């Protein structure tokens, strides 16, 4: 997608805030524990490579991504630290991953057997680093019973010249919930899995952002630090008490590119869903749902000069309209997420209005919005 470099509309990424969030998380770890920064989905919309570079400076010792292409992007950018792909990768890519020193997640014995066969016949003679995923209750990927895990370790041992049992992990479904009943259930399942191992691998990891913030448990030696690095509470508004201040990592701003006085009784936007009940100043903002400003944000208020200005009429693909308290000149800043005067809009505010979570809001910001790093 073409980046809108010649349009005043941007995601401004605060690298100092991201550094602070990761640094605080790193300080809370036990000596020798690792922090792998999660930079999947282009660093949750912040820029994977830029986040990886600042995360390494803040003390991250590795990275997690969702798909192999994201791992290769880091390698091509010169990132040398360990990289783990959290999703399932086609075994046909085993040699490629091994050649780039990229670790892969595995959740089935069939995958191990296929990859072993391909590696045995490949010209590349290195080893592939494997992390075994355990399904303790997330219901997504991973081995479901301790017996399956034991059998998988047996396959790895049988092919230890081509595959290295580097790590083991699970993922908690409710670590961000005030009710820890299901969390404890999953933790016990994890303990049952671990009991069948004769020797632990290099990395044992169960903690995501929420677990690292609110659960000092699990006997792991690595955390996968995700949403909290970007300054957002993984619990949304369910758990507000935090061990340290999270600093938001981005803001979203644009401008008023057209302003006009609209007479009473005139309609605004597609479907004529908003009609002025008085003479009103209406401003047009040059971003829309193609930029990640959802159509459902009609009625939500953005900020202009510290004033809340509601979005009137439907959000268009490339523009939306707002009701202004008075006329503003061309180029006046419009804050969609961030601070304006004494007022602030957070990603959680947007998420609440859209009945979703902050993750979806920031990951939905389109590449057409240029990224500005400060």
- Span 252-272, average pLDDT: 98
For the full predicted model, state whether its pTM sits above 0.85: yes
Taking 70 as the threshold, does the pLDDT of residue 197 lie above it?
A: yes
Query: How far is residue 366's CA from residue 292's CA, in Å, rounded to a whole number?
Result: 5
Handedness of CA 319, 309, 335, 23 (dihedral sign): negative
Arithmetic mean of pLDDT over the chain? 96
d(CA 344, CA 306): 8
In DSSP terms, which residues pair with 301 in a beta bridge? 310
- In the predicted model, what is the mean pLDDT of residues 74-103? 97
What proportion of the chain, given as a percentage, has pLDDT over 70?
Answer: 99
Is pLDDT at 217 greater than 60 in this prediction? no
Segment 347-368 shows an average pLDDT of 97
Burial class (CB in 10 A: 0-12, 13-18, 19+), 353: middle
Question: Which residue did the predictor score with more confidence, 268 or 238?
Answer: 268
Confidence of residue 218 (pLDDT cuts 50, 70, 90): low
Residues 6 or more apart whose Cβ sits within 8 Å of residue 181: none
Average pLDDT over residues 186-214: 93
113-164 pLDDT, tens per residue? 999 999 998 888 889 999 999 999 999 999 999 999 999 999 999 999 999 9
> Is pLDDT larger for residue 330 or for residue 242?
330
pLDDT for residue 292 = 98
Q: What is the pLDDT of residue 175?
A: 87
The pLDDT of residue 167 is 98
Beta-bridge partner residues of 320:
285
The pLDDT score that the predictor gives to residue 240 is 84
Looking only at the bridges linking them, the beta strands covering 222-225 and 34-38 are parallel
Residues carrying an active site annotation: 40, 270
Going 123 to 82 to 13 to 212, the CA torsion angle's sign is positive
DSSP H or E run through 38: strand 34-38
- Residue 211, pLDDT > 90, answer no
The annotated binding site for substrate is made up of 140, 317
Mind giving me the DSSP string for 216-281? --S--SEEEE-GGGGT--TTTTS----SS-----EEEEEE--EEEEEPTT-EESGGG-EE-SS-EE
Segment among 57-66, 90-99, 171-180 with least mean pLDDT: 171-180
Q: Is the pLDDT of residue 216 over 80?
A: no
38 Rama class: left (phi>0) / alpha (psi -120 to 50) / beta? beta
Q: 360 falls in which pLDDT band (50, 70, 90)?
A: very high
282: nearest Cα among 305, 310, 259, 255 = 259
Answer whether residue 57 shows pLDDT above 70.
yes
Instruction: Return the HEC string of 287-341.
Output: CCHHHCCCHHHCCCEEEECCEEEEEECCCCCCCEEEEECCCCCCCCEEEEEEEEC
pLDDT of residue 19: 98
Domains of the chain: 15-230 (3.20.20.10), 250-345 (2.40.37.10)
CA angle 144, 149, 154 (to 5 degrees): 155
pLDDT digits (tens, 9 = 90+) for 23-55: 999 999 989 999 999 999 999 999 999 999 999
């Amino acid at each position: 997608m073409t980046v809108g470099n010649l349009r005043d509309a941007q995601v401004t990424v605060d690298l100092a805030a991201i550094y602070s969030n990761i640094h605080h998380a790193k300080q809370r770890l036990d000596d020798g524990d690792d922090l792998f920064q999660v930079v999947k989905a282009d660093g949750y919309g912040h820029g994977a490579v830029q986040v990886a570079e600042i995360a390494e400076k803040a003390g991250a010792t590795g990275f997690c991504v969702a798909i192999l292409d994201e791992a290769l992007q880091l390698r091509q950018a010169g990132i040398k630290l360990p990289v783990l792909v959290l999703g399932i990768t086609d075994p046909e890519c085993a040699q490629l991953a091994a050649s780039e020193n990229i670790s892969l997640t595995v959740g089935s014995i069939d995958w191990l057997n296929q990859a072993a066969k391909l590696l045995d016949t490949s010209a590349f003679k290195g080893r592939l680093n494997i992390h075994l995923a355990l399904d303790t209750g997330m219901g997504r990927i991973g081995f479901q019973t301790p017996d399956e895990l034991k059998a998988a370790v047996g396959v790895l041992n049988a092919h230890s010249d081509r595959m290295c049992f580097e790590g083991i992990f699970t993922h908690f479904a409710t670590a961000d919930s005030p009710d820890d009943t299901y969390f404890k259930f999953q933790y016990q399942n994890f303990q049952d899995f671990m009991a069948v191992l004769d020797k632990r691998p290099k990395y044992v990891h169960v903690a995501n952002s929420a677990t690292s913030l609110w659960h000092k448990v699990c006997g792991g030696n690595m955390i996968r630090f995700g949403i909290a690095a970007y300054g957002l509470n993984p619990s949304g508004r369910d758990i507000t008490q935090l061990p340290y201040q999270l600093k938001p990592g981005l803001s979203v701003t644009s401008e008023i590119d057209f302003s006009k006085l609209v007479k009473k009784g005139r309609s605004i936007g597609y479907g004529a869903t908003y009609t002025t009940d008085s003479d009103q100043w209406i401003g047009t903002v040059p971003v829309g749902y193609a930029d990640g400003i959802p159509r459902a944000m009609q009625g939500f208020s953005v900020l202009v000069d510290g004033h809340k200005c509601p979005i009137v009429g439907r959000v268009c693909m490339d523009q939306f309209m707002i009701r202004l308290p008075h006329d503003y000149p061309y180029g006046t800043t419009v804050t969609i997420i961030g601070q304006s005067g004494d007022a602030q809009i957070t990603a959680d505010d947007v998420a609440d209005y859209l009945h979703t979570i902050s993750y979806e809001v920031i990951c939905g910001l389109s590449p057409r919005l240029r990224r500005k790093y400060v």
